Amino acid sequence: MRTHYSGDVSPELDGETVTLAGWVHEVRDLGKLKFLVLRDRAGMIQVTAKEGVTDAKAISAVDSLSRESVLQVTGLVKSAPKAPGGVEINPTSISLIASAQSPLPLDVTGKVDSDLDTRLNNRFMDVRKPQVQAIFKLRSKVLEAYREFFLGRGFIEINPPSIIAAASEGGTNLFPITYFEREAFLCQSPQLYKQMIMSTGLDRVFITQPVFRAEPHNTPRHLNEIFMLDVEKAFIEDEEGVMEELEGVLQYILKKLADDTPGELELLGAEVDVPKLPLKRIDYDDALDLLAENNLKIEWGEDIPPEGERKLHELFNAPYFIKRWPTQMRAFYSRPLDDEPRYCSAFDLDFMGLELSSGAQRIHDHDQLVEALESKGLNPENFEFYLKAFRYGMPPHGGWGLGVERILTSICKLTNVRETVLWPRDRHRIEP
Ligand code: AMO
């Protein structure tokens, strides 16, 4: 149906015949001169019809067009320095492929603002906006970069189940489902599975998987369905053995975006600073001291609130790790430090004032793991399928999880994580 996308039509093609297909972004009727802006995924192009010059059928097609209808346009490329992109199309034929009703549920041109709810309710139309399309092109690029980085380092991609019988991160926040005659849950993290794989010899794995969390908070940074990027690696000496990969992949993703998608970043007004490695590391206790010096008092053992993450970002102006967290605060599988078990080898990576990722070196000793479960009030019997993998040779290992929505929110400097999901799932939204 098309020979070119709008972005392929340059002034060098002057005089050639091309066929384009896309949506009617705007029509301007100046009497004898009619301008049509045709939009496709590569951008927009002006189609200029002149009475007396352009074929009469093509002219009358323009007269009856409604905005957002789908068209096929064949015509001659003409270099036109004043037109957007420096070219226009002089049409020889215009065919209406699918007409759009009026009024539209949403303005695509950006002239009329719509609130996020209206936009999400009409997402098929919202994603026609070039800036919104840019977010999803960047999302695809982030996933491409993530895969490329880990495949290049000898990791393999595994696909754990999404239906599970036991909580991976503790008891709450699970969505129960009816699984034939018993209860099951939607997976909140592939945590237990990626750890069990460490006992198999497939000692470097990565995962891309939707995870589901029944977290009741309805905030600009929380979703109930998250697309999680997980990594697990065995034969590490300490948590640095996987933090190095986390900072490496962050740098790789940012560089790839800067190299491959400058147009999309520009559309969103997002500049990417590729960080130098190693990233800054700060211990939890030191972060608390620093925040206290900056008038934000946090009790030892409490999480660092979003306000604190933003403050640290202001102070460091670069992505940073927080390490050495109190053991009591972190998931049961986080390995307490041998010399000071009050602290564990868990870490968070924060970027642009948002927690992007968290991870840890894990407990790999079976009995210590049983104790850790009990100390969190969890029943080891419910974890028997997992504990078993720790009884027959489990090497030291660690890993992390990175929410793709959070990294995009940071990179694109968005104020709401929902912007990065086509059809987000939150406390109130399961439709469309
Ligand atoms: P955690 O629960 O910290 O760790 O999740 C890892 C990362 O996932 C993202 N994330 C979210 N994003 C949007 N909405 C949410 N509700 C949400 N919850 C989490 C964040 C977060 O840093 N199993 C561990 C990882 C590990 O240790 O390997 C885990 O899931 O970016």
Yes or no: domain 6-98 corresponds to CATH 2.40.50.140: yes
Spacing of C-alpha 224 from chain mean position: 14
Amino acid at 428: H
Spacing of C-alpha 380 from chain mean position: 34
Q: How far apart are CA 372 and CA 328, in angstroms?
A: 10
The per-residue pLDDT for 168 is: 64
Q: Assess whether pLDDT exceeds 80 at residue 212.
A: yes
Going by pLDDT thresholds of 50, 70 and 90, the confidence category of residue 167 is low
**For ligand 1, mutation pick of 406, 407, 426, 429 (most atoms within 8 Å of CB):** 406
Residue 330 CB–ligand 1 contact under 6 Å? no
> Tokens 């999309």 identify what position?
264
Structure pTM? 0.96
**For ligand 1, mutation pick of 187, 209, 212, 226 (most atoms within 8 Å of CB):** 226
Q: Assess whether pLDDT exceeds 90 at residue 58.
A: no
Amino acid at 178: T
Q: How far apart are CA 380 and CA 386, in angstroms?
A: 9
Per-domain residue ranges of the chain: 6-98, 130-420
Going by pLDDT thresholds of 50, 70 and 90, the confidence category of residue 169 is low
Residue 213 CB–ligand 1 contact under 6 Å? yes
- Average pLDDT, rounded, for the chain: 95
Distance from the alpha carbon of residue 229 to the mean position of ligand 1, in angstroms: 9
- For the stretch 221-259, pLDDT in tens is 999 999 999 999 999 999 999 999 999 999 999 999 999
Residue 319 CB–ligand 1 contact under 6 Å? no
- For the stretch 261-273, pLDDT in tens is 999 999 999 999 9
Q: Assess whether pLDDT exceeds 90 at residue 165.
A: no
- Answer yes or no: same fold for 6-98 and 130-420: no
Q: How far apart are CA 161 and CA 179, in angstroms?
A: 14
**For ligand 1, mutation pick of 197, 358, 418 (most atoms within 8 Å of CB):** 358
What CATH number is given for 130-420 in this structure? 3.30.930.10
DSSP string, 132-190: HHHHHHHHHHHHHHHHHHHHHTT-EE----SEESS-SS-SSS--EEEETTEEEEE-S-S
Amino acid at 172: T
Q: How far apart are CA 411 and CA 212, in angstroms?
A: 23
Q: Of all protein residues, whose CA lies closest to atom 21 belonging to ligand 1?
A: 357
Going by pLDDT thresholds of 50, 70 and 90, the confidence category of residue 64 is confident
Q: Assess whether pLDDT exceeds 80 at residue 166.
A: no
End-to-end CA distance of the chain: 30
Residue 49 CB–ligand 1 contact under 6 Å? no
Percentage of the chain beyond pLDDT 70 is 99
Three-class SS string for 265-286?
HHHCCCCCCCCCCCCEEEEHHH
Q: How far apart are CA 160 and CA 175, in angstroms?
A: 17
What is the bridge-based pairing of β-strands 70-79 and 87-98? antiparallel
- For the stretch 16-52, pLDDT in tens is 999 999 999 999 999 899 999 999 999 999 999 999 9
Distance from the alpha carbon of residue 65 to the mean position of ligand 1, in angstroms: 47
Closest to 12 in 3D by CA, of 85, 93, 72: 85
Distance from the alpha carbon of residue 270 to the mean position of ligand 1, in angstroms: 24
Q: How far apart are CA 83 and CA 126, in angstroms?
A: 25
Q: What mean pLDDT is predicted for residues 295-320?
A: 96
